[in-house]
Chain A
Amino acid sequence: MEIAALVFVAVGAGALGSMLGLGGGVILVPVLSLAFGVKLQSAIAASAISVVANSVSGSQAYLRLRYTNIRLALVLVTATAAGALAGGLLVVSLPTGLLRGIFATFLLAISILMLARRTASARAAPGPVRAEDPFVLEGRYADGPSSTVVQYVPRRLRAGLLGSSLAGVMSGLFGIGGGPITVPLMTLVMRMPLKAAASTSGFMVGLTASVSAFVYYNAGFVDPSVTVPVLCGIIVGARGGVRVATRLRPDILGRLFIGVMLALSALMFLDAFGVL
């Protein structure tokens, strides 16, 4: 019964994670530890492994559809990895309660900004591709059932790199993955369509999570009786999430993303004030 419930929760986390580029860890860790009584270390390890599974599974389809901008992902994830290393070092010397409060406020501000702008993808609607793209980071894919061609060139690469390293620092500090920062960064600052941003972020999150998951494995935190059912659910959810994301209108996907961000922000506030 408990295994079935674990699989069921993981299906939901996998679907949301692959649709929104968040990886699913933000949902799994609190649910596994609070609802299922799994040891926090095992919950974090299972979550990190399932984020990798989610990314590997979802990215196969997104790469085929060309939603994922792989060149941009490799560039940005380098900054994220460097930031994550710095975050891992900072975590021992900074008051995390205060940081969680600041981060929760930051997430709330991003959600409000995205809400105010309606959908970032609408603002980043396909326009003429600028001639200046020295690193050939342009993206092009067919969107939705009508296969509308969406073409874009990510803007403000420097700001993107800076933001990605910040996402890495946050990831190292709180272990939530960089998705809640990189997706808004790519849509609001780099003006990418939301679907491209979410799938590119999903690919990046998998890369960074693979290192932390390996560390957890080596430390003996992985419990196969929790990880295996979660993995099974994540795979089903991720595949379903890809199908839904390719059919969903960008504005609906945007609203869903904002909803998850607001929920995450509320969770972080509760955690910062010691309620959780």
Chain B
Amino acid sequence: MIASRRRAYLASASRRRAYLRRQRLWTTVLYRWAGRVLSIGFWAAFALIGFGLLVAALRGEPVGGEVETLDRVVPDAVRLHSQGLIDLGILTLLMTPGAVVVVALVISIRGRDRMLALVTSALLLMLVGSVVISLL
């Protein structure tokens, strides 16, 4: 449906060129921001895990056993407990790919890319839905 409408709209060569130019520009923006988000998430996660390991080594705390429950992770990390810091690092890492989808949604809306906005919204719904179901 969207594809056929788009084909009809892009029947004119000048429209097609302008459309492609705009999409390529926004795709470049998407690549740049997706890379940045991955990089920030990656380094933040490993800084937290590294700091947690350092705290554990300095205090002689063991690293192992079970992870904290979700409601205790942030308070324990704020109190600089090694386990809380490590768990927050792991959770930061797990949220990073989802953050890329959020960024893609924002960029697709700003770039008026309906197809990508639709796809990323559906994807985000499924990701959030799966997480919510697992929490129930």
Contacts and interface: CB of A to CB of B under 8 A. Distances in A.
Interface of A: 49, 52-53, 55-57, 59-60, 63-64, 66, 70-71, 74-75, 77-78, 81-82, 85, 132, 134-136, 206-207, 210-211, 213-215, 217-220, 222-225, 227-228, 231, 235
Contact of A74 (B38, B63, B86, B120): B120
B41 A56 contact: yes
Pick from A217, A218, A235 the residue with the most CB of B within 10 Å: A217
A214 B134 contact: yes
A217 B91 contact: yes
Q: Could you tell me the dominant secondary structure of chain B's interface residues?
A: helix
A183 to B, nearest CB: 18
B74 interface: no
Shortest beta-carbon contacts, A-B, top 8: A225-B64, A215-B134, A136-B23, A63-B35, A207-B97, A81-B126, A210-B97, A78-B123
A225 B63 contact: yes
Nearest to A64: B35
Nearest to B3: A134
B103 to A, nearest CB: 10
Nearest to B5: A134
Nearest to B120: A74
Contacts of A70: 27, 30-31, 34, 104
Interface string B11-38: 0000000001001100100110011001
A75 B119 contact: yes
A60 B31 CA distance: 10
A74 B134 CA distance: 23
Given A57-B42, A74-B120, A136-B27, A224 B97 contact: no
A229 to B, nearest CB: 9
A63 B31 contact: yes
Contacts of A213: 94
A173 to B, nearest CB: 16
Contact of A56 (B97, B119, B131): B97
Given A49-B90, A78-B126, A214-B134, A220 B30 contact: no
A109 to B, nearest CB: 30
Given A66-B31, A214-B94, A220 B67 contact: yes
Nearest to B122: A78
Given A49-B93, A211-B127, 12 more contacts: A52-B97, A53-B42, A63-B34, A70-B104, A136-B24, A207-B127, A210-B97, A215-B130, A218-B134, A222-B90, A223-B65, A224-B63
